[in-house]
Amino acid sequence: MLSETVVHRLASACRSTLTLVLGGRFERVLLPVLAIVGANMTAFGALMGYFGLWLIEARHADIGAVSTALFLAGLAGAAGAFAAGSAVDRYGARGMIVGISALHVLATAVLALPVDTWVGVGALVAIAGTQPLRGVAQRTLIGLLSDAGAGEKSFADFRLVLNVGLLCGPVLGAGLLLWGWEALRIGVCALYALSLLPAVALYRDRRIGAHSGTSTSSAAAPVPAASMLTDRRLLLLLAGSGSAWTIVYVYESLIPILVVSSHAVSASEWGLIYSLGPLLCLVGQFRVQRWFRGFSTASRLTGGVLLMGFAFSLFWEGFALGSLLLFIVAFVLGDMVWGPASEALVVRVAPEGRTGAYVGAVTSTMWVGSAVAPAVGLPAREHYGDGVIWIATAGLALVAAACYAKANQLVCANNP
């Protein structure tokens, strides 16, 4: 009895400490999904954060090969995301999550072997092409599990875990790199295997479907792309989200290469600097969500993307340590403001029974951004220098802000 009391008090103290650190609590019903998101995105962050550098430093590939590899991965992801929505609506989110999780374990097992460079690129393309299937399933399930009116809080939970996982991946990768590139590839495979465990637990938990009140395995017919693209609100969201995600992948894919190749810091040192991001997300996401709750959705969307895009202007004078740290603070703050509002707006726009299709369509822009940022950014930087990147991110931020503002205006007009 005494031991049970001690355990109970320790658990209570841990929950209180976590609430104090985070500034809030996760929605309890979302915890199984959030566990999958965290494990998966840590693995994905470790893979994507260093794949370009692996090609350059371990495989001695040129910039053309790197940009081609990342472009192919981005296109595969965009195609997978656009197709994923209807698949999730038809076949169910939980089965999709566990199936793709198992596939990713197999694909990263190939990467853990001493494979040819283009075999490794093929494995990356396979992972990128199927990652959206689990990503759309996770977002759709969160949308279904959210109580009415609580969409942004649920997606704040999601974005906190996603960002911490995505940003912690490179930190773990930096530690693995102390033992070499082989250790990193084996570690990525182990992380993906770890992400399969909560996926299996979620699949076996029958309470999830009952709680949501909405079937996650609807047999609704797929929505034709031509029909979806007549929705002006969706078109604006596609343009705004595509611009915003291109900015994000300048941060994710280009900045590590630019910083390390300029000899400002080493690959492992960049991973440590990058760790400021997950710390900010950890202590800031719930607080930022609460602080900006009084602002309109349009203000949060436009303000967030503008801060993200214009943060790159801090690099006009080069990659000094101070500018790197200030950039990460500004960029992550913008992401914490923009992210939950953008996710919730898609769910608001989607017709009943078509949440997966709309989420999948908008999620495809994330992969378009991951393809465009390195494929266009790296060659442009080679020809015109770093400045063209900073100008482009500012321009993309203005486009995204305008599209989000108009889309939100149309949503409010249709739902007064």
Q: What is the pLDDT of residue 401?
A: 95
Q: What are phi and psi of 385, to 5 degrees?
A: 90, 175
Q: How many residues comprise the chain?
A: 416
Average pLDDT, the chain: 78
pTM of the model: 0.70
Q: For residue 148, is pLDDT > 50?
A: no
CA pair distance 287, 293, nearest whole angstrom: 10
Using a pLDDT cut of 90, give the percent of the chain over it.
15
Q: Comparing C-alpha atoms, which of 264, 254, 265, 251 is closest to residue 305?
A: 251
Structure tokens at 221: 């017919």
Binning pLDDT at 50, 70 and 90, where does residue 14 land? low
Neighbours of 37 (CB within 10 A): 27
CA pair distance 323, 199, nearest whole angstrom: 39
Q: For residue 208, is pLDDT > 70?
A: no
CA pair distance 324, 304, nearest whole angstrom: 19
Q: What are phi and psi of 21, to 5 degrees?
A: -65, -45
Q: For residue 393, is pLDDT > 90?
A: yes
The domain locations on the chain are 28-211+225-414
Give the class (CATH, top level) of 28-211+225-414: mainly alpha
In the 8-state DSSP scheme, what is residue 275?
A: T
CA pair distance 345, 403, nearest whole angstrom: 12
What are the Cα distances from residue 354, in Å, to 99, 173, 268, 348? Answer: 22, 38, 43, 11
Q: What is the pLDDT of residue 224?
A: 56
CA pair distance 336, 280, nearest whole angstrom: 9
Burial zone of 399 (CB within 10 Å; 0-12 exposed, 13-18 middle, 19+ buried): middle
Cβ contacts of residue 317 below 8 Å, gap of 6+? 323
Q: For residue 140, is pLDDT > 60?
A: yes
